[in-house]
Amino acid sequence: MEFVLIDSFKAGNSSTKPTGEWSLEKSRCLAGIGDSNSEHLKLSNEDLAITSETKQFYF
C-alpha cells in the first residue's frame, strides 16, 4: 500500500473535525479515538505498519 500526505491546502478544501479525544492534532492528521465520517480517511497503526500507542489516525 502506498500513502501520500499532501500538506498544502487548496482553495475550497475544508472539513469539520470529527468529535473525539485527540492525542495529536495537525492540520492534515488527527490521532486518537474518535468518530469517523465521510470527510476523513481512518487508518489504524496496523494499516500504516507502525508501532504506536495510538490506534487510530484520521487524514
Number of structural domains in the chain: 1
Among 6, 55, 56, 12, CA closest to 27: 6
**Domain for residue 34, yes or no?**
yes
The pLDDT, as a whole number, for residue 46 is: 93
Whether 48 is covered by a domain: the verdict is yes
The answer as to whether 15 is a domain residue is no
**16-51 pLDDT, tens digit each:** 888 999 999 987 889 999 988 888 889 999 999 999
Q: Is the dihedral of CA 34, 35, 36, 40 positive or negative?
A: negative
Show the domain range for 29.
Answer: 21-58
Q: What is the pLDDT of residues 1-12, one digit of tens each?
A: 555 666 666 666
